[in-house]
Amino acid sequence: MTVSHIPADPTYDEVCARISGTWQNLFGEPDMRIEEGDNFFSLGASSLLAMRMATAVGEELGIPLSVLAIAENPTLNGLSRHVLDLIAARDAREVGEL
């Protein structure tokens, strides 16, 4: 998988696109259409895929994403908003360190 540039302050749409792309890769379905209300587990994901997703998204966006966070926010919309919150918290910590 090729990782393209990720903005330092990604938008909701950019985060949704990253997460849906990760879902497509994990499911082995590059043409899979994923909607904001789609649930990762209802689409057929297992806890093993959730671990792989937490690692992939966490590394790509530089955040500590947990499997618990995925279980608590299983929709594309919910997880994208949670990831944006994690990015904002990370950035706030970095500013505080200056």
pLDDT at 36: 97
Q: For the chain, which residues make up each domain, given as ranges?
A: 12-96
| CATH architecture for residues 12-96 | Orthogonal Bundle (1.10)
Please determine, for residue 70, whether its predicted confidence score (pLDDT) is greater than 80: yes
Residue 63 dihedral angles phi and psi, to the nearest 5°: -130, 160
pLDDT at 96: 65
Average pLDDT of the chain?
90
pLDDT at 51: 97
pLDDT at 9: 79
pLDDT tens for each residue of 6-50? 566 799 999 999 999 999 999 999 999 999 999 999 999 999 999
pLDDT at 7: 64
- Residue 75: strand pairing partners: 39
57-62 contacts at long range (C-beta below 8 A, 24 or more positions apart): 57/18, 57/19, 57/22, 57/83, 60/3, 60/6, 60/18, 60/22, 61/6, 61/10, 61/15, 61/18, 61/86, 61/87, 62/87, 62/90
